[in-house]
Amino acid sequence: MAQWDALVDAALARLASRSLLRATRPIALAPPPAPPETFPGPGPWDRAAVEIRLDRATLHQWLAEGGEGSGQEEKVDEKLILFSGNDYMGLSSHPAIRHAAVKAAEEYGMGPRGSALICGYTTYHKMVEESLAELKKKEDCLLCPTGFSANMAVMTALGNISSLLAAGRKPAEDERIAIFSDALNHASIIDGIRLVERQQEVVSFVYKHCDMSHLELLLLFSMDGDFAPLPELVKLRRKYGFLLVIDDAHGTLVCGENGGGAPELFECENEIDISVGTLSKAVGCQGGFIACSTRWKRLIQSRGRSFIFSTALPVPIVASVYAALYVSREERWRRSVIWRHVQYFASLTKLNITSPIISIVVGSEKAALRAGRDMLRSGFHVTPIRPPTVPPNSCRLRITLSASHSSDDIKRLVDALTPWLPHKHDIQIYVVASKL
């Protein structure tokens, strides 16, 4: 988008004139000697991603929530099958990821401890950025400590464009960047917008969830976990020339033939200007990233406060991310397993399930706590989701499917869920979140 490139270039020129452009200086570490080992199918290590044990005191505290029960301790197995995590690919327990973290820890400890702009950036960080840029079909990428900090960094950098071009004065209202945000966007996006709004750098407009008519009217997602309507957003982008930023937290590695996420699935990768994501869900590790052009990267790493003032990720974590991205490319069968699980769940429940994230709305907090206790007694960790995460009287069980689950796990889960599956028209089923 030529007009946005011109704005960013002008902001970068202003920073350069004041000697405020920041750059990372990689500390050289020896790269991994060979590609990590991959496998043609699930192994015994996969079960470690979904088989957990709750502390007994915590288990009985959970069972006692809501004020029901006899007051006596129930005999419930502490071993549970986890159905409320975000490790969709089952990579968190993969031998390659474990070995990469261990080897890096043995050779480098935690690595240099500091901001990426001071001393916390290494050749391992650079390798991960290059891999993510390739995955997201972007020119460059910036690695962040968390997905939350990645969204915050993008928002603060956007706001700084107005301030930089206003040359030492508060930008007038018609000089500020206008941000249009979905009503159900993640807290990290909302908090970032609030911060730059408070500094009088942007003006924001909130449109009804996934309502493109309302968005166009204003011009011109979240626990519900549905796809952002990317094809419609792309059409509006072409019409109005806005900058399109998406948070593909739940879609990365899960959607698309190569795991490129929702943009790959909808074949619109070239229409996304900035793609924010996390490394703590399907990647199975920790961290966040911003895939973008090199000019946007230079601006964000120079003005994105949450990036500048955060300690960089430890080298063992970054090494494990690099291994996880490699495994994801080689073990494509993991994506196939996830989507087979989705189809199997749908066939068992006769519900229109279209994604690994399934939210079953049960209503009141009391009902949600009771449903959660039922899941515990049946041997499943399924967390009840309550306010303030969701609005009152829309409490739910949030179920996530993983490549590490077995068909038997899913069959037994559906049997346990049966009392909580109302008639089809009463249940809300959502798809994998790719929040705008």
In a domain, 112, yes or no: yes
Instruction: Round to whole Å and give the CA distance between 172 and 426.
Output: 49
Instruction: Based on the fold, state whether residues 235 and 359 are members of the same structural domain.
Output: no
- Select from 329, 344, 374 the last residue of a domain: 329
What pLDDT shows up at residue 11?
95
In order of 21, 310, 388, the CA distances from 371 in angstroms are: 53, 39, 18
Instruction: Based on the fold, state whether residues 179 and 313 are members of the same structural domain.
Output: yes
Instruction: Based on the fold, state whether residues 86 and 204 are members of the same structural domain.
Output: no
In a domain, 253, yes or no: yes
- Return the HEC string of the chain: CHHHHHHHHHHHHHHHHCCCCCCCCCECCCCCCCCCCCCCCCCHHHHHHCEEECCHHHHHHHHHCCCCCCCCCCCCCCEEEECCCCCCCCCCCCHHHHHHHHHHHHHHCCCCCCECCCCCCEHHHHHHHHHHHHHCCCCEEEEECCHHHHHHHHHHHHHHHHHHHCCCCCCCHHHCEEEEEECCCCHHHHHHHHHHHHCCCEEEEEECCCCHHHHHHHCCCCCCCCECCHHHHHHHHHHHCCCCEEECCCCCCCCCCCCCCHHHHCCCHHHCCEEEEECCCCCCCCCEEEEECHHHHHHHHHHCHHHHCCECCCHHHHHHHHHHHHHHHHCCHHHHHHHHHHHHHHHHHCCCCCCCEEEEEEECHHHHHHHHHHHHHCCEECCEECCCCCCCCCEEEEEECCCCCCHHHHHHHHHHHHHHCCCHHHCCCCCCCECC
Beta carbons of 108 and 313 less than 8 angstroms apart: no
Q: Hunting for tokens 């703590």 — which residue is that?
A: 280
Instruction: Based on the fold, state whether residues 85 and 107 are members of the same structural domain.
Output: no
Q: How many CA atoms lie within 13 A of 127 on its CB side?
A: 20
Instruction: Based on the fold, state whether residues 256 and 341 are members of the same structural domain.
Output: no
What's the pTM value of the predicted model, to 2 decimals? 0.89
Adjacent-strand bridge partners of 398? 359
What pLDDT shows up at residue 67?
63
What pLDDT shows up at residue 223?
47
Instruction: Based on the fold, state whether residues 170 and 235 are members of the same structural domain.
Output: yes
**Residue 108 CA to its chain's centroid (Å):** 28
- Cα distance from N-terminal residue to C-terminal residue, the chain: 18
Beta carbons of 117 and 302 less than 8 angstroms apart: no
Q: Indicate the number of domains in the chain.
A: 2
Q: How many CA atoms lie within 13 A of 231 on its CB side?
A: 3
- Select from 329, 364, 390 the last residue of a domain: 329
Instruction: Based on the fold, state whether residues 322 and 350 are members of the same structural domain.
Output: no
Contacts of 198 by beta carbon, 8 Å cutoff, 6+ apart: none
CATH code for the domain in which residue 274 is found: 3.40.640.10
In a domain, 201, yes or no: yes
In a domain, 86, yes or no: yes
- Select from 329, 360, 395 the last residue of a domain: 329
**Residue 282 CA to its chain's centroid (Å):** 8
What pLDDT shows up at residue 425?
38
Instruction: Based on the fold, state whether residues 337 and 325 are members of the same structural domain.
Output: no
Residue of 119, 96, 89 whose CA lies nearest to 27: 119
The boundaries of the domain holding residue 417 are: 44-91+332-426
Contacts of 87 by beta carbon, 8 Å cutoff, 6+ apart: 49, 50, 281, 282, 284, 402, 404
Instruction: Based on the fold, state whether residues 233 and 341 are members of the same structural domain.
Output: no
In a domain, 266, yes or no: yes
Instruction: Round to whole Å and give the CA distance between 430 and 361.
Output: 10
Instruction: Based on the fold, state whether residues 297 and 389 are members of the same structural domain.
Output: no
Instruction: Based on the fold, state whether residues 201 and 295 are members of the same structural domain.
Output: yes
Residues with pLDDT less than 70, the chain: 66-73, 184-185, 207-208, 211, 214-227, 422-436
Beta carbons of 429 and 358 less than 8 angstroms apart: yes
What pLDDT shows up at residue 101?
97
Q: Hunting for tokens 């406060």 — which residue is that?
A: 305
Instruction: Based on the fold, state whether residues 343 and 311 are members of the same structural domain.
Output: no
In a domain, 9, yes or no: no
Residue of 122, 146, 435, 155 whose CA lies nearest to 300: 155
